Chain A
Amino acid sequence: MDNLISGFAILAQWQVIVALIIGSVGGVIIGALPGVGAAVAIAILLPATFAFEPIVGLTLLLGIYGSSMYGGAIPAILINTPGTAVNALTTYDGYPMTKRGEGHRALSLAYSASFFGGIFSILCLIVLSPVLAWVAPHFGSREIFLAALMGVLLVILAHRGQTFSAAMLAFFGIFLNTVGLEPVKYTRRFTFDQTWLSSGVDLIVVVLGLFAISQALLLLVDKEHAPGEAHVRGNIFTGLKELLGLKRIATVSSSLGVLMGMVPGTGEFTSQFLSYTYAQKTSKDPDAFGKGSPEGLVASEAANNAVPGAAMIPLLALGIPGEALTAMMLSVFYVHNVIPGPQLFAEQMDFVMALYMALILLNVVVLIFLLFSTNLLLKLIQIPTRFLGIMILTLSFVGVYSLRNSITDCAIAAGFGVVGLILKRLNLPIVPIILGMVLGGIMEVKLRSAMARVKSPLDFIDRPIAAILFVMILGIILLHIRSLIQEHKDRVKPQPVLDEDTTQQG
């Protein structure tokens, strides 16, 4: 109870409230703009938040993270253009509903499902907190090493059909993290006698290049995409009532979102895939899926909005980010010398509570904002995409240059911008690079400290949690091999070709 009151006191500071409102409203706007997305916005704002208190900076970033998917549903439903990549599935059922004159109903359901998913995941986080606070201190170096290894493995295997590219890019990320002066023996690694490489490759520079600059370049070079015009009328929140009739789908989808959000390396896409499949299989009208099914829409939106809250679990409890956005947030913790992990739960539970409450409040702020602003947002998304490119490139400069006023950093970020553009054009994943960098660093440090305390390699898994994690890693590998064999058997049957020819944006 003390922690709750103390957390509330932290949250009641005016700076935190302003950050919450700016982050939530800004996140909706950014999410609604096709081609921007939360990752771009967080990458740009990240260095600016270093000057703030950790809670202020994190609230701002969490606001953007948690609210962008609300905004992304608007163009996905009304003009068949997902605002963020994770809203792509929303177009399957949202846009057909708009075409048959139910745009207002679709938006209303999407907002309600998103709100349900968001709140559900935070409640899970709160309920799980005592368990996390109890389990987290049992994670020593070897357990954290194994959890990070599992994260790398999952991020590779989660990219089905792209496993080789995801693996090569994850290893590239691990390599990038090793460049520079090694901190224990002080030897140089892959510096090629260049002083600018001695300090290594900064994670934020890579993030800004791969997410923000690449997106700016993509928008600048690509031809102009003019989103269609749309308008909605009526009370947007009638969907809350309709959602009650679909509460089974919403609850299961949100639960899958929470589950997948907690597992490093999986995230929104896997949870959406699982919940959509579940909704379709259990529906009385499975043929309506993809043709404007309210159940499909609820499954997609509830699942993706349940992920941000749950993604905070491995980050806060173990210091292990599950995907790119929480990896970026990890740097905010580090800059302020707040080390997420078991100690955070033991010593700064009020801080954790303040973050939970901020997550709940941001969902409420977003819902209120959307009550008045849907039509205004529809006007905003008419900004020419090439002008958006100029805006992102201009803002990217602040992000990179303000780190340490280095022209070299800007050049490196621009280089990664071109790499990111190529990856996006080829539909290859970017996230494995970022997670490789972050988790690679964690694995190196934790393996060194863990191995110093064991006599034989088997001692490494002689503790219960380490043994469980090891069995899980083996299980994941075996399951993957089994699914590969199954896929190979199925391949003899002709498969329908899905529409994969979309450029990855947002």
Chain B
Amino acid sequence: MIAKTLQDMFRRYRRPGDIVFATMFFVFSLFLLSQLGTETQVVKRTKWFAQPALWPTIAIWGMVVFSGLHLLSSFLSPRIPGRLREITFWLKSLEYVVYFLIYVVAVPWLGYLPSTMLFAALLTVRLGFRLPGAFCIALVFGAVVAILFRALLQVNIPAGRIYEYLPDGLRAFALTYL
């Protein structure tokens, strides 16, 4: 009877992989709770509302309580099969995160224009767009983005170190606009 009432109260729509995320978040919240004493300080001669530890304490206890309830509701809700497929989907995204971080590291060395053109073009190939037209569109897109943001909008992106090796006239131009 109690189990039935609990199930009625907490049942919700639950997608594949829900319980994995709910568990991970709950464990993460418990980890933060275990660190509360060492990662925050209680300052002497300071009232409770001005204590640096006040808001992290409220936030982490809130995370623990509600992620616990979220996990409980995940347990009590009907499961839809496909957990492994869903987690594989999440993990597949890491491949593109790696490409993105390589691009981030490459920009200060290769410069914004060349690395953006390369990044867009290589990702196009990786995604299976094999026609030369698609490759060219990606190159043009990369060039337009780089010129728009660095040359026209003067967004704060450093010049590539490789530009130092360019001939005199081109070097100054590349350092400023590309």
Contact = CB atoms under 8 A, between A and B. Distances in A.
Contacts of B134: 387
A8 interface: no
Contacts of B92: 221
B170 interface: no
A282 interface: no
B43 interface: yes
B96 A175 contact: no
A418 B66 contact: no
A417 interface: yes
Interface residues on B, range: 35 or more
B100 A397 contact: yes
B107 interface: yes
A397 B118 CA distance: 14
A427 B12 CA distance: 12
Nearest to B49: A451
B86 A425 contact: yes
Interface string B99-142: 01101110110000000100110011001110000100110011
Interface residues of A, number: 72
Interface in A159-193: 161-162, 164-165, 167-168, 170-172, 174-175, 177-178, 182, 184-185, 187-192
B165 interface: no
A449 B61 CA distance: 24
A175 B41 contact: no
A218 B94 CA distance: 11
A396 B96 CA distance: 13
A213 B100 contact: yes
Interface stretch (A108-116, A238-246, A303-311, A401-409): A401-409
Given A175-B32, A451-B47, A164 B69 contact: yes
Interface string A415-447: 001100110011110000000100010011001
B145 A395 contact: yes
A59 B66 CA distance: 38
A187 B40 contact: yes
B2 interface: no
Contacts of A491: 8
Contacts of A48: 149, 153, 155
A224 B155 CA distance: 32
A390 interface: yes
A348 interface: no
Nearest to B156: A402
A51 B63 contact: no
Interface string A126-168: 0000000000000000000000000000000000011011011
Interface string B43-81: 100110110111110111011001101100100000000
A174 B55 contact: yes
A66 to B, nearest CB: 22
Given A174-B55, A384-B129, A418-B97, A397 B43 contact: no
Interface in A373-421: 384, 386-387, 389-391, 393-398, 401-403, 405, 407, 410-411, 414, 417-418, 421
Closest CB pairs A-B (n = 8): A171-B62, A175-B59, A168-B66, A167-B66, A174-B59, A451-B49, A164-B70, A217-B93
Given A51-B154, A178-B55, 17 more contacts: A51-B156, A161-B12, A217-B93, A387-B127, A387-B129, A390-B120, A395-B145, A398-B149, A398-B157, A401-B104, A402-B156, A405-B157, A407-B101, A411-B104, A422-B17, A425-B15, A501-B15
19 contacts: A51-B155, A164-B67, A165-B70, A168-B25, A168-B29, A175-B60, A187-B43, A387-B138, A394-B142, A396-B100, A398-B155, A401-B107, A417-B97, A418-B93, A425-B15, A426-B18, A440-B55, A451-B49, A488-B8
